[in-house]
């Protein structure tokens, strides 16, 4: 991945996180993290 693409992707992710904290207090990010951990638990179960 070229450096410019990685930088743009990192800035987009940072902007999403900052916007989420500004608009909803981080609720969306917390929801996504919880769903990710549920997915990991599900995958570990099937391992």
Model confidence pLDDT, tens digit, residues 1-47: 799 999 999 999 999 999 999 999 999 999 999 999 999 998 987 76
Question: What is the Cα–Cα distance from 5 to 31, expressed in whole angstroms?
Answer: 27
pLDDT at 20: 95
Which domain range does residue 11 map to? Answer: 3-45
**What pLDDT does 29 receive?**
94
- Give the phi and the psi of residue 46 in degrees, each rounded to 5: -85, 0
Give this prediction's pTM: 0.70
pLDDT at position 28: 94
For helices 27-45 and 3-24, the axis angle rounded to 10 degrees is 120
How many distinct structural domains can be found in the chain? 1
């Amino acid at each position: 991945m070229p450096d410019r693409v990685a930088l743009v992707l990192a800035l987009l992710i940072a902007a999403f996180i900052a916007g989420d904290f500004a608009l909803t207090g981080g609720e969306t990010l917390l929801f996504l993290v919880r769903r990710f951990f549920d997915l990991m638990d599900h995958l570990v179960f099937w391992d």
